[in-house]
Structure 1
């Protein structure tokens, strides 16, 4: 993770050379090649402005709301520990201030434009097997140089519309390099004794919508993992960290449709539907389906929770995965439309997941 700021232009040419050398010699993807030379992916792509990358104006709302013109593409959203890829068309785009939505049948997004800092169009040669081709994409990064969202064209996408979009939103100056800021440190939880436990329990029980959970965290000054530790016990179960593999295997075997949420500071991307091709490749757990790919670092899961939240449609159950800093890796739900109760099969599957063994359990087995 970056800990210092950089001059945005003075070393761009050198950074580009180092970045491309790391990609070529170590056969690394962009994010890993950037990390290999001690910079963020956003810095690496900004260093390529004038060559592989075209700097776009910071009109992020207008740009993304023109993406439907590109036809069927691949949307990619990731955080440090999981990559979420969906094929489809951007549809039903809207925004209210700096918060946007895409509510397409395949591509379902919650967009936080306030976090977006740098955008570029990337045209680079990629090699698959013995064949090389040009890959076109739109890529967006936050103030810390971390990717918030990418749009990759497929062979059948509207490439002419892409060229027109890039020409329309191309920054006239095309300056290489960006200045990034250090990512904020992980929040430190308050002492549990400082939390109004009774009030917190009452507020939890009185939720009528899952979105009220964010207000609950804010009102009581608790992190997400601290909230789960302090929740009314009938609403939370800490489960074994192998739970995500178990639930994906169950969903694949039964055809149970699920929702998989993956997000970062600037984006949440959602898959809704069945999963079928579950492929563990240590340390990655992968879903390799037509139209949906997920790549999740199982070894980075520090805690896993089955969580129930009251709503006006009945309780809604999720499997929530967190890293060692308490950051959300991913959340899984059963497919559900507003106004409908959740699928009983999803709740049964979630509730069947094995609990995290306690120290007493370990002692009993010793």
Structure 2
């Protein structure tokens, strides 16, 4: 079993990202039929063959889900789309073996190649005596993680209520070989999560999964919402700062922070500004590059949390290769890639909560892009190297 500390960090970072939803507006534009949209995309690909589908959708003024749906019958299959089915698809995907799991938000992408862990059922844990309340809590957690994905190489936390559409995609990749994936989208047509098959021995398993969850109406119309609600916070002068700071200091687990923020009606950046002295230090966007470079050079194990309203993906371990590419800063390891749009970052924060040090980076609209923790062994304090790295990050002027 994972340590209580790890579970706590998972709960914190998942709630962090679920509370931060990047606003997006797709202009209505020319809502032509599927064949017309497919033709427009085909023409765009001729002009820009390396253009990613997300960027192509933005140029064509549609959502990524709509662009994918325009290819149904051409290697794209619509899958059933309700909360229970999404969970069952991900549960079945545990049988695919090695996959590449891709999660993104507006300014960050986390890609991890590996095999997901499968959790034992409640009945299999004969040695663990659970109260009825604890048993209910654990069963709820199992539903939220689809029977696996807790720790290990493919480490995910789901919020299926924000999943809306699902597709199976089997099309030639840039190398000419067929790429097989499961792709999930929210009500705004934006990508929630993607799983790419990396195990040829599981092609039959993939095909059976697609067959079992194929939607009976392949030309089902997508009802895409075009705008997201904005988040508002209570004015500073209406906050009981003294009580808030006391609540911060009395935290015994970092996951309690999310409840405190809700109780006082704050947003995250506002909470950091009003934090007790020494508990929240603002750092510059350049701190992202410093953190990743130093973690690689010093071989410090880190946890990176990145996600959106529907899923959070976590990487834990050491990183090796970091590099800049245009406006992005990247980790480019064989089984782990992290891409963060440096130009979109406005600030970061080094935080101290319940004895845990973390670093969070936000975009100009105040939305969380990526957060980091140090990895520590069970029942041991945080590594001094992680604390030193976070403490030395360049501060904001």
* 1:20-99 alignment runs, 5 A limit: 20-27=42-49, 28-58=51-81, 59-92=85-118, 96=140, 99=144
**What residue number does 2:312 align with?**
268
Number of corresponding residues: 349
Among 345, 355, 364, which residue is 1:324 paired with?
364
User: How far is 1:343 from its partner?
Assistant: 1.6
User: How far is 1:332 from its partner?
Assistant: 0.8
Among 321, 333, 350, which residue is 1:289 paired with?
333
Answer whether contact 1:6 1:179 (CA < 8 A) is retained. Answer: no
Answer whether contact 1:259 1:270 (CA < 8 A) is retained. Answer: yes
Instruction: Answer with 89-98 or 66-75: which moved more.
Output: 89-98
User: How far is 1:65 from its partner?
Assistant: 0.6
Q: Distance in 1 between matches of 2:67 and 2:364?
A: 27
Among 131, 137, 149, which residue is 1:102 paired with?
149
Q: Distance in 1 between matches of 2:69 and 2:358?
A: 38
User: How far is 1:153 from its partner?
Assistant: 1.1
What runs of 5+ residues in structure 1 fail to find an aligned partner? 358-366
Q: Secondary structure of the residue that 2:156 maps to in structure 1?
A: strand
Among 163, 176, 185, which residue is 2:207 paired with?
163
**What residue number does 2:128 align with?**
none
User: With CA pairs under 8 Å and 6+ residues apart, which has the higher RCO, 1 or 2?
Assistant: 2
Q: Secondary structure of the residue that 2:152 maps to in structure 1?
A: coil
**What residue number does 1:361 align with?**
none
* 1:118-129 alignment runs, 5 A limit: 118-128=165-175
Q: Distance in 1 between matches of 2:280 and 2:243?
A: 17
Q: Distance in 2 between matches of 1:338 and 1:211?
A: 17
Among 193, 205, 227, which residue is 2:237 paired with?
193
Q: Distance in 2 between matches of 1:251 and 1:161?
A: 38
TM-score, structure 2 as length reference:
0.83
Q: Secondary structure of the residue that 2:222 maps to in structure 1?
A: coil
User: How far is 1:24 from its partner?
Assistant: 3.4
Q: Distance in 2 between matches of 1:157 and 1:291?
A: 19
Among 193, 202, 206, which residue is 2:250 paired with?
206
**Deviation by residue 1:107-131 (Cα, 9 ceiling, x = unmatched):** 1111100000000001111223xxx
Q: 1:2 to 1:194 in 2, by over 3 A?
A: same
Q: Distance in 2 between matches of 1:156 and 1:275?
A: 27
Q: 1:21 to 1:244 in 2, by over 3 A?
A: same
After superposition, the CA RMSD in angstroms is 2.0
Are 1:221 and 2:289 an aligned pair? no
Q: Secondary structure of the residue that 1:127 maps to in structure 2?
A: coil
Q: Distance in 1 between matches of 2:344 and 2:165?
A: 28
Structure 1 runs of 4+ with >4 Å offset: 3-8
What runs of 5+ residues in structure 2 fail to find an aligned partner? 1-23, 122-138
Q: Secondary structure of the residue that 2:215 maps to in structure 1?
A: coil
Instruction: Answer with 23-32 or 67-76: which moved more.
Output: 23-32
Among 343, 350, 354, which residue is 2:394 paired with?
354
TM-score, structure 1 as length reference:
0.90
Instruction: Answer with 30-39 or 332-341: which moved more.
Output: 332-341
**Deviation by residue 1:303-343 (Cα, 9 ceiling, x = unmatched):** 11101111xxxx11111000111110000111135644322
